[in-house]
Amino acid sequence: MSGRKSTQATVRICGASSLSKTSWVCAFAVPGDNKATAHKIKARDVDRLISILNSSKTKAEHQLSRPLRIVLCYEVGYDGFWLARLLMARGIRTVVFDPASFLMPRRGRRAKTDRLDAEGMTRTLRTWLSGDREVARDVLIPSVEQEDAKRIERERKYLVEERTSIVGRIKGLLALHGIWLNGKRIGKRLLERLDIMKTGDGRPLAPFLRRDIERMLRHYDFVSQQIEEVIAERKAALVDGLGRFPHAEKVQRLATLGAVGETTATVLVAEVYHRSFETRRHVASFVGLAPSPYNSGDTGRDRGIHKAGTKLARQTLVELAWFWLRYQPNSKLSLWWHERFGGMGMRGRKVGIVALARKLAIALWRFVEQGVVPEGATLKV
């Protein structure tokens, strides 16, 4: 009990910031005062923010005649984590909350202003610091290296999607004129074939249509080159020994499993397995593959996965589940899936593949952290 009182004696000034692109609204609540004092400053004016924090602290310490400590919180969003790192480097404890985790009243329409949001967050922070962690969930602030490591595969995914969009647009334009291209890629000789292409009614390509396609083909080549550069940069980062990619050894270990390629391993380590998890349930919950239970009265059922966490990791695990069935057919997980869902229709098989992805997330976590090979799985030679 005495330890709790001591903690509250030093952690008392609760501050919260509502951040937008043009302005920040900061509210501060001192001990014994239920009303928060709000200040509006220019966005990204950190010096002004710290000045207000220090003046609020000095004033409160003078009134209460005891040392106090400032705790500031804000919602993770457009500004990311740079502000939290900067404030912590200045000695200010900073808590970053998940905006989707706040408990909100359900009666009537709730007023919404930056000032009300900031004042409400100060009350939430007070409750959170007192030990009630259900009012909001804090977000783990990653290191610069951990956050930057996610860029490799996120950029590659964005570029691949952009290339796919270019292919779809070219095929769509040609299809409008009765010309059909097969395959998911655009052949290297398509530019040369534009001279001899004939529309469905026997005409050569119209001049504006042709120049449009030529520009898109140049864009296609440029994006393809960027994808190759990103892949080369990833390979170099995993072996350079400079620590540019944290936990590169986990990527190399994970890639030794059959069905797991270097791209998949990089995504999973950068998005998930760089963190520490206490139990398997925490792993499944973090990637959004845990079921959402519904129990009320005599009714009890699961409402499907809650889809929290990183979408890229969840998509990667589902894709990996299909590859696992193909390249690890004798593993216990594959046999379980065939026995449970193999005889169902397409809908049942898709539900089963999500369940397999959840089990894979846990099995791969154990393999990365403890070296436990999934039962029946094979390693690459």
Structural domain boundaries of the chain? 2-129, 144-239, 248-370
Going by C-alpha positions, the residue among 173, 252, 266, 255 that lies closest to residue 217 is: 173
Q: Give which of 309, 291, 290, 310 is closest to 300, Cα–Cα.
A: 291
- Distance (Å, whole) CA 284 – CA 4: 33
Dist CA 280 CA 304 (whole Å): 18
Return the pLDDT at 32. Answer: 74
Q: What is the pLDDT of residues 241-256, one digit of tens each?
A: 788 899 999 999 999 9
Cα 357 to the chain's mean position, in Å? 17
d(CA 102, CA 123): 12
Per-residue pLDDT of the chain (381 residues; tens, 9 = 90+): 333 343 444 446 899 999 999 999 999 988 777 788 999 999 999 999 999 999 989 988 888 888 889 999 999 988 899 999 999 999 999 999 999 889 887 777 778 888 999 999 999 999 999 999 999 999 999 999 999 999 999 999 999 999 999 999 999 999 999 999 887 778 778 998 998 999 999 999 999 999 999 999 999 999 999 999 999 999 999 998 788 899 999 999 999 999 999 999 999 999 999 999 999 999 999 999 987 777 777 776 667 777 888 899 999 999 999 999 999 999 999 999 999 998 888 889 999 999 999 999 999 999 999 999 999 999 997
pLDDT digits (tens, 9 = 90+) for 24-51: 999 998 877 778 899 999 999 999 999 9
How are beta strands 11-19 and 23-29 bridged, if at all? Answer: antiparallel
Q: Which residues contact 47 (CB under 8 A, 6 or more apart)?
A: none
In 3D, which of 158, 182, 160 has the Cα closest to residue 170? Answer: 182
For the record, the structure tokens of 129 come out as 């610091």
Q: What is the pTM of this model?
A: 0.86
Structure tokens at 373: 């090979």
Q: Which residues contact 147 (CB under 8 A, 6 or more apart)?
A: 80, 81
We find that the CATH architecture of domain 2-129 is: 2-Layer Sandwich (3.30)
Residue 231 and residue 236: Cα distance in Å, rounded?
A: 9
Amino acid in the structure at residue 42: K
Selection from 369, 340, 157, 378 nearest residue 282 by Cα: 369
Neighbours of 5 (CB within 10 A): 8
